[in-house]
Chains A and B, each alone.
Chain A
Amino acid sequence: AQSVTQLDSQVPVFEEAPVELRCNYSSSVSVYLFWYVQYPNQGLQLLLKYLSGSTLVESINGFEAEFNKSQTSFHLRKPSVHISDTAEYFCAVSEYGKLTFGQGTILTVHP
């Protein structure tokens, strides 16, 4: 069965600094990978996903994630964060159509 580990429960950064949210997964088969974002008191929104093709995927608001099959990782990065990026981020892996979530990483961007 698949599992997902988000290595940091909380990540504080200053505005305009780069950030990396780490995600590792375990699975015995090919998987699909997702990052979701949750703003306070809201549902989860899809940020980006890897299904196939290029291992580097990007979101419309400047985040990117790279699928690394050998390291079974799907880390999320942004070169310069904004206050509005403050949220909780969930990594998820899909195996045979079943989604498993990590425990979440709370990103707090300070002015």
Chain B
Amino acid sequence: SQTIHQWPATLVQPVGSPLSLECTVEGTSNPNLYWYRQAAGRGLQLLFYSVGIGQISSEVPQNLSASRPQDRQFILSSKKLLLSDSGFYLCAWNSLRSNTGELFFGEGSRLTVL
């Protein structure tokens, strides 16, 4: 069966520090991968998605970047965090072979920037 894990689960970082959140999917190949952010009262915001290694699409301009160095690994990064980067970050995947679009989510990473 397929599983998705992301880490760390919780992170407290000072303004201006770097960020790296990792996400790994197991049990499937060539997944589509996604990073979402939840800020308080603002629903789910799609940040990045990837259909393959090295292929990243950004949905909104921001202080963050994403990379996909391996087929089942997706990394969210920042060189210098802002207070507004605080939120709950969710990694998700779905299969290119499925036309329903159903997404499978990781456990989430809560980032607090102080």
Contacts and interface: CB of A to CB of B under 8 A. Distances in A.
Nearest to B105: A43
Interface of A: 9, 32, 34, 36, 41-46, 49, 51, 90, 92, 94-99, 101-104
Given A42-B107, A46-B104, A102-B43, 13 more contacts: A9-B41, A32-B102, A41-B110, A43-B108, A44-B105, A92-B103, A94-B100, A94-B101, A97-B99, A98-B101, A99-B94, A103-B42, A103-B43
Given A42-B108, A44-B90, A45-B105, A32 B43 contact: no
B102 A49 contact: yes
Interface residues of B, number: 20
B1 interface: no
B83 interface: no
A7 to B, nearest CB: 14
Nearest to B44: A101
Contacts of B90: 43-44
B105 A32 contact: no
B44 A104 contact: yes
B58 to A, nearest CB: 15
